[in-house]
Amino acid sequence: MSDLGGGFREEFSQVQVKDKAPRFRIAALAGIALAAILFQVYVPRFIGQLSYLELPLLVTVYFSLMRSSPVAGLLYGACVGLAQDSLADNPLGMFGIVKTLVGYFAATASQRFNIENPGIRLVLSFFFFFFHQFFYWVLERALLGQSLDFELQRTLVIAVLNALVALPLFHILDKLKVG
């Protein structure tokens, strides 16, 4: 009986989460991802100080958190990452793998935290940026054989900056919810 009750609560909670998950238009999902990638490609040419912004990652984190679906999150992360790879000077899949993991874990985390809380958003953004950078560094060393140093202090500072940018960005993206 207790198992039955636990299973019921679990199923109910999942349904409740699915029902509460906001929805976005496909065009908005694709357009924002593309805009984020293009922003990263072109804007730092004119304003060099903005090169630290990892907008594709923040967009991936946001939509994965909002959808609360690990599969949707990892697929969205994979698409964004591969698109980013196609315009980057590295082998296809580097950003794809990292953002796939980010999307998956962000969607998973959204099932455990109140993602509407700005503090939670700030911490998650900081964490996933750090995770993204660290795992990308690991992949560079492991798969590409590049012996690069991991600049911990710099990465932490940039992670804080990205987290600070993520708050207003997420607030703006909240306006795109359709359901």
Partner 1 sequence: MEAILNRYRNLTVLLAVVAVQLGLLGYQVKGNGEVRLIRVWAVGAVTPLARVIEAGQSNIAGFFRDYFLLIGVRRENQRLKDDLDRVRMENQELRTELSTADRARALAIFQERSPSKTIAARVIGNTTGVSAKVVIIDRGTSSGVRKGMAVITPNGIVGKVTGAFPTASYVLLVTDPSFAAGVLSQQNRVHGTLKGQGNGTLIVDYVQNEQKVNAGEWFFTAGDDRIFPKGLPVGRVTLVRQGATRKELFVAPSGLGDGLEEVLVVVEGVHAEIPEIATAEQPVQLQEPPPAAPEIAPLRDGSPATDADRLVDRYRRIGEIEKHEYGGHGGRAPNFNVTVEPRAADAQPSPPAPGTKQAPEKQAAPEKQ
Positions in the binding site for partner 1 (CB under 8 A): 38, 41-42, 46, 70-71, 74-75, 78, 82-83, 86-87, 91-94, 96-97, 100-101, 104, 108, 143-144
**Close Cβ partners of 122 (under 8 Å, ≥ 6 residues apart):** 163, 164, 166, 167
132 closest CA partner among 33, 59, 66: 59
The single residue listed with the structure tokens 């296809």 is 92
Q: Which residue lies nearer to partner 1 by CB, 104 or 126?
A: 104
Q: How far is the CB of 39 from partner 1 (least distance, A)?
A: 10
Phi, psi of 75 (to 5 degrees): -70, -40
Q: Which residue lies nearer to partner 1 by CB, 108 or 155?
A: 108
Q: How far is the CB of 117 from partner 1 (least distance, A)?
A: 24
Q: Which residue lies nearer to partner 1 by CB, 24 or 104?
A: 104
Burial 43-78 (b: 16+ CB within 10 A, else e): eeeeeeeeeebbbbbbbbbbbbbbbbbbebbbbbbb
Q: How far is the CB of 142 from partner 1 (least distance, A)?
A: 10
The Cα 134–Cα 128 span in angstroms is 10
Q: Which residue lies nearer to partner 1 by CB, 100 or 133?
A: 100
Q: How far is the CB of 119 from partner 1 (least distance, A)?
A: 27
